[in-house]
Structure 1
Amino acid sequence: MAAAAVDGSAMREPAAGRGELLGRELELTVDRVAHGGVFVAHHEGRVVFVPDTLPGERILARITEDLHAGYLRADTLAVLESSPDRQEHVWVAAALDRPPAERAGGAEFGHIAPAAQRALKRQVLIDALTRTGRLAPAEVDALAIDVRPVPGEPDGTRSRTRLKLHVDEQGRVGPYAARSRHVVPVDDLPLATIGLERAALAAGRLPGVRSLDVVAPSTGAAFVVAHPGGGGPATITEHVDERGHEFRLEPTGFWQVHPSAPAVLTAAVQQALSSGPLDPSAANLDLYGGVGLLAAAVAGLAGPSLTITTVEGDRRASEHAGQNLARYPAAHARADRVESFLRHEQVRPDSAHRSAVVLDPPRSGAGTEVVDAIARRGPDRIVYVACDPVALARDAARFARYGYRIGTLAAFDLFPNTHHIEAVATLHR
Structure 2
Amino acid sequence: MPERRTRRPDRRSKPAAARPARRAAEPRTDGPLLELEVGDVAHGGVFVARHEGRVVFVADAAPGERVVARVQDASKDRFWRADAVEVLEASPDRVPHIWAESGIDRDPIDRAGGAEFGHLRLGYQRELKGRVLADALSRFGGVEVAPAVEPVLVYEGAEDVGTGWRTRVRLHVDADGNVGPYAARSHRVVPVASLPLAVPAIERIAPLGQPFRGAEHVDLIAPSTGDAQIVVADARSSRSAPPTVDEIVAGRRFTVDRDGFWQVHRGAAETLYRAVQDAVDDALFDPRAANLDLYGGVGLLAGALLDRFGETVRLTTVEADARATEHAGTNLAGAVGVRAETARVDRFLQRLVEHPTAAERARLADATIVLDPPRSGAGREVVDLLAASGARQLVYVACDPVALGRDVGLLRAHGYELEEVRAFDLFPSTHHVEAVARLTRR
TM-score, length of structure 1 as denominator length: 0.90
Of 248, 258, 265, the residue aligned with 1:251 is 258
Report the AA paired with residue 368 of structure 1: R
Percent identity over the alignment is 52
Q: Does 2:432 align with 1:420?
A: yes
Distance apart, 1:363 and its partner CA: 0.6
Q: How does 1:300-311 map to 2 (within 5 A)?
A: 300-311=307-318
Name the structure 2 match of 1:43.
51
Q: Does 2:164 align with 1:158?
A: yes
* Change over 3 Å in CA distance of 1:289–1:203 after alignment to 2: farther
Distance (Å, rounded) in 2 between the aligned partners of 1:53 and 1:394: 27
Q: Does 2:389 align with 1:387?
A: no
Distance (Å, rounded) in 2 between the aligned partners of 1:52 and 1:288: 34
The worse-fitting range, judged by mean Cα deviation, of 201-210 and 26-35 is: 201-210
Report the AA paired with residue 304 of structure 2: A
Distance (Å, rounded) in 1 between the aligned partners of 2:209 and 2:245: 20
Name the structure 2 match of 1:234.
243
Distance (Å, rounded) in 2 between the aligned partners of 1:197 and 1:170: 23
The worse-fitting range, judged by mean Cα deviation, of 203-212 and 227-236 is: 227-236
Q: Secondary structure at the match of 2:162?
A: coil
Distance apart, 1:205 and its partner CA: 1.4
The 8 Å contact of residues 215 and 224 in structure 1, kept in 2 or not, is answered as: yes
Q: Does 2:36 align with 1:28?
A: yes
Q: How does 1:15-414 map to 2 (within 5 A)?
A: 23-135=31-143, 137=144, 140=145, 144-150=146-152, 151=154, 152-201=158-207, 204-228=210-234, 230=237, 234-241=243-250, 244-345=251-352, 347=356, 348-414=360-426
* Change over 3 Å in CA distance of 1:196–1:188 after alignment to 2: same
Name the structure 2 match of 1:12.
none
Distance apart, 1:276 and its partner CA: 1.5
Distance (Å, rounded) in 2 between the aligned partners of 1:224 and 1:365: 32
The 8 Å contact of residues 38 and 64 in structure 2, kept in 1 or not, is answered as: yes
Q: Secondary structure at the match of 2:206?
A: helix
The 8 Å contact of residues 153 and 159 in structure 1, kept in 2 or not, is answered as: no
Report the AA paired with residue 291 of structure 1: V
Q: Which runs of 5+ in 1 are unaligned?
A: 1-21
TM-score, length of structure 2 as denominator length: 0.88
Distance apart, 1:198 and its partner CA: 2.3
Q: Which runs of 5+ in 2 are unaligned?
A: 1-29
The worse-fitting range, judged by mean Cα deviation, of 265-274 and 51-60 is: 265-274
The 8 Å contact of residues 132 and 397 in structure 1, kept in 2 or not, is answered as: yes
- Aligned length, in residue pairs: 400
Distance (Å, rounded) in 1 between the aligned partners of 2:232 and 2:380: 36
Distance (Å, rounded) in 1 between the aligned partners of 2:140 and 2:276: 24
Distance apart, 1:197 and its partner CA: 1.9
Distance (Å, rounded) in 2 between the aligned partners of 1:271 and 1:179: 36
Distance apart, 1:23 and its partner CA: 2.1
Distance apart, 1:203 and its partner CA: 8.3
The 8 Å contact of residues 187 and 201 in structure 1, kept in 2 or not, is answered as: no
The 8 Å contact of residues 193 and 209 in structure 2, kept in 1 or not, is answered as: no
Distance apart, 1:315 and its partner CA: 0.2
Distance apart, 1:230 and its partner CA: 4.2
The 8 Å contact of residues 211 and 226 in structure 1, kept in 2 or not, is answered as: yes
The answer to which structure, 1 or 2, has the higher relative contact order (CA under 8 A, 6+ apart) is 2
Distance (Å, rounded) in 2 between the aligned partners of 1:215 and 1:58: 40
Distance apart, 1:112 and its partner CA: 0.3
The 8 Å contact of residues 242 and 259 in structure 2, kept in 1 or not, is answered as: no
Distance (Å, rounded) in 2 between the aligned partners of 1:165 and 1:202: 9
> Could you report, residue by residue, the CA deviation over 1:245-297 in whole angstroms, capped at 9, with x for unpaired residues?
10001001111111111111111001110352521110000000000000111
The 8 Å contact of residues 284 and 392 in structure 2, kept in 1 or not, is answered as: no
The worse-fitting range, judged by mean Cα deviation, of 370-379 and 152-161 is: 152-161
Q: Secondary structure at the match of 2:397?
A: strand
CA RMSD of the aligned region, Å? 1.6
Distance apart, 1:91 and its partner CA: 0.4
Distance (Å, rounded) in 2 between the aligned partners of 1:324 and 1:301: 16
Report the AA paired with residue 389 of structure 2: R
The 8 Å contact of residues 33 and 55 in structure 1, kept in 2 or not, is answered as: yes
Distance (Å, rounded) in 2 between the aligned partners of 1:42 and 1:350: 55
Q: Secondary structure at the match of 1:201?
A: coil
Report the AA paired with residue 73 of structure 2: E
Distance apart, 1:88 and its partner CA: 0.5
Distance apart, 1:227 and its partner CA: 2.2
Larger Rg: 1
* Change over 3 Å in CA distance of 1:366–1:203 after alignment to 2: farther
> Could you report, residue by residue, the CA deviation over 1:147-200 in whole angstroms, capped at 9, with x for unpaired residues?
001224332100110112100122111110111110000111000001112232
> Could you report, residue by residue, the CA deviation over 1:346-366 in whole angstroms, capped at 9, with x for unpaired residues?
651100110000000011111
Report the AA paired with residue 115 of structure 2: A
